[in-house]
Amino acid sequence: MKISTIVIRMMLPLLLSSFWNITGNISSPYELSGTRGVQALESNNKKPKSGGHFLKYDWNWNWNVESFPRRLDLELELANDDNICHTSEWLPAGANLIGEAAEDQSGESIDMSADGSIVAIGTRRNDGAGKNSGHVRIYQRDIGSDSGSGSNKWILLGKDIDGKDRWEGMGTAISLSQDGMTIAITGNNSAGQADKIGILRVYQYNENTNSWTQLGEDMRGKAASDQFGRSLSLSDDGLTVAVGAYQSQDGQGQNSGMVQVFSYNTKSKSWVQKGNSLNMKKDNVPD
């Protein structure tokens, strides 16, 4: 899904003067979501390294910030309707979405549906299925709970999508389909080993059973240290996925990198690679 990324810093107080009443630390970086609102982001202290906070404001709302003790994230992603944004550390309108346990680092990866009503949060260091097995949680915004101030509640869709074995790190990267009903999830290791091969799974939500079901088989990198799945993009319909393996050498030289595109065959219920792997031609291409 195509999403705008906008970061505005130095001149923000001047830009906001016509629309918002501002109190708080003006020297902190703020982020502007198109023409609809302002987002400010900070880390959360309730559980060390468990996750972060997100603040969302819209037209004619008062700017009210308790404090900004830490750095703010530098990237903002905006939903297609310009009403909701997300980042790796955030505080939702409504109840805080906090990591399950200390050291989880919830929010290391995050994505939203096109209309901003569904949000997925990756937590690759969660230990639910073993050390650093990782998990992903997907929430849906309860519009009926909005009191007019944007304070929507977020409802968990299904259960946590856990890694299947220790060290998988599921939630390293995540990508939602346009409607938020399909999600691609990668882990930075293969099952049971810290080998950095990488693994990819795709799940689809079943509204009748309120559960997530895996589509097709696992997809893996070709060799140790490939870092298959460190970058990821799912198509709007959830049936095509592009996966990056930035440390792959695959015959082209050390750390030259590779991208593969897979399409889901609904008849065979399997993922089929589309075309050839896309390889870089130069050794040690810098990040």
pLDDT tens string 114-147: 998 899 999 988 877 788 888 999 999 886 665 5
Q: What is the pTM of this model?
A: 0.65
Domains of the chain: 106-134+163-287 (2.130.10.10)
Output the pLDDT for position 3: 39
Phi, psi of 16 (to 5 degrees): -90, -15
DSSP the chain: -------B-TTHHHHHTTT--B-S-TTS-BEEETTTEEEEEEE--SSTTT-EEEEEEETTPPB--S---SPPPS--EE-TTSS-EE-SS---SSS----SSTT--TTSEEEE-TTSSEEEEEETT--BTBTT-BEEEEEEEEGGG--SSS--EEEE-SS-EE-SSTT--BTSEEEE-TTSSEEEEEESS-TT------EEEEEEEETTTTEEEEEEEEEE-SSTT--EEEEEEE-TTSSEEEEEETT--TTT-TT--EEEEEEEETTTTEEEE-S--EE-SSTT---
Per-residue pLDDT tens over the stretch 35-86: 334 443 434 555 555 444 444 444 333 333 334 444 333 344 555 665 555 5
Identify which has the larger pLDDT, 72 or 221: 221
Average pLDDT over residues 188-215: 86
Output the pLDDT for position 280: 64
Per-residue pLDDT tens over the stretch 141-152: 886 665 555 556
Output the pLDDT for position 84: 56
Residue 83, Cβ density class (10 Å: 0-12 exposed, 13-18 middle, ≥19 buried): middle
Cβ(123)–Cβ(110) below 8 Å: no
Q: Which among 71-85, 103-117, 205-219 has the top mean pLDDT?
A: 205-219
Q: Which among 130-144, 147-161, 206-220 has the top mean pLDDT?
A: 206-220
Per-residue pLDDT tens over the stretch 265-284: 999 999 999 988 877 665 54
Cβ(223)–Cβ(231) below 8 Å: no
Output the pLDDT for position 183: 98
213 - beta bridge partners? 204
Q: What is the distance between the alpha carbons of residues 203 and 37, in angstroms, rounded to a whole number?
A: 32
Mean pLDDT, the chain, whole residue set: 71
Q: Token digits for 257?
A: 């990198």
Q: Token digits for 283?
A: 């050794």
